[in-house]
Amino acid sequence: MKLPPPPSFQLDGRRALVTGAGRGIGLAAAAALAEAGAEVWLVARSADEVEGAAQAIRDAGGRAEGYVLDVTDTGAVRAFFAARPAPHILVNNAGTNRPKPLWEVTEADYAAVLDLNLRAAFFVAQAAAMRMRAEGVAGSLIHLSSQMGHVGGRNRSLYCASKFGLEGMSKAFALDLAPFGIRSNTVAPTFIETPLTRPMFADAAFRADVVSRIKLGRIGNPEDVTGAILYLASDAAGLVTGTSLLVDGGWTAD
């Protein structure tokens, strides 16, 4: 009897671009993609962080280059993609949060969160997809969403607005891009301990409340998210598009 071949998670010969790649989930994603064989382009606003991250991946035997890029600058984003070959994988990870009750949200808060989490994600994905289409490159767009793109949360009106928008955006991208062999999905984590979220967890009551809502009983770490990213980047997810992979420890299950 001939057994069916197992799915491959290897990414040899593929180019992967990760935004917000200097630390946290972005850095973990870049390291995992490089370990799977991809040539990784790390993008962030901080030169020290992104260059240090790329060097660490090279020191570990991977292929990586770091680039300074403000993804909220649409012109710079378009120029970046025009200057190099199309990626096979985009990890649309750059994001921010300003947790406040809705009555304290200012226009500056709105602009900061929605411009990075949604507008920049849209135009980075657009530029990547256009380059992929032009070169006939099939591949995977992976957008870092959140469980807060599926449920509401106190003091999270801006963040929820951006992540619910990202979920709808990805589904529509999946429909537009399917004829070109380009898949679009989101990964939606629960609370992950990163440099961005660590100050929030200094509040013991907040940390206890979060852990009580995560059915598996712990806060996540960046490595919990990278398995989902690697899966969606690989041929193992070749028939997966227009969906969201929740990595939430059961938060949204009830």
Mean predicted lDDT score pLDDT of the chain: 96
DSSP-assigned letter for residue 121: H
Residue 35: pLDDT band with limits 50, 70, 90: very high
List C-alpha distances in Å: 136 to 16, 88, 174.
Answer: 16, 10, 16
Residue 125: pLDDT band with limits 50, 70, 90: very high
Mean pLDDT of the 19-48 span: 96
Let me know if 12 is exposed, middle or buried by CB neighbors in 10 A (0-12, 13-18, 19+): exposed
Comparing C-alpha atoms, which of 55, 36, 86, 28 is closest to residue 235?
36
Mean pLDDT of the 108-127 span: 97
Residue 196 DSSP SS3: coil
Tens of pLDDT, residue by residue over 59-69, are 999 999 999 99
Residue 114 DSSP SS3: helix
Tens of pLDDT, residue by residue over 61-98, are 999 999 999 999 999 999 999 999 999 999 999 999 99
Instruction: Catalogue the active-site residues.
Output: 159
Which residue type is seen at 239? Answer: L
In percent, the amount of the chain with pLDDT more than 90 equals 93
Decide if pLDDT at 15 tops 90: yes
The model's pTM: 0.96
Mean pLDDT of the 108-135 span: 97
Q: What is the pLDDT of residue 156?
A: 94
List C-alpha distances in Å: 120 to 73, 75, 94, 195.
Answer: 8, 11, 9, 21
Residue 194: pLDDT band with limits 50, 70, 90: confident
Residue 180: pLDDT band with limits 50, 70, 90: very high
Decide if pLDDT at 196 tops 80: no
Q: What is the pLDDT of residue 216?
A: 97
Mean pLDDT of the 127-152 span: 97
Mean pLDDT of the 110-115 span: 97
Decide if pLDDT at 58 tops 80: yes
Class of domain 15-245: alpha beta
- Contact assessment for residue 150 and residue 167, using Cβ atoms and an 8 Å cutoff: yes
Residue 195: pLDDT band with limits 50, 70, 90: confident
List C-alpha distances in Å: 139 to 203, 206, 241.
Answer: 41, 39, 11
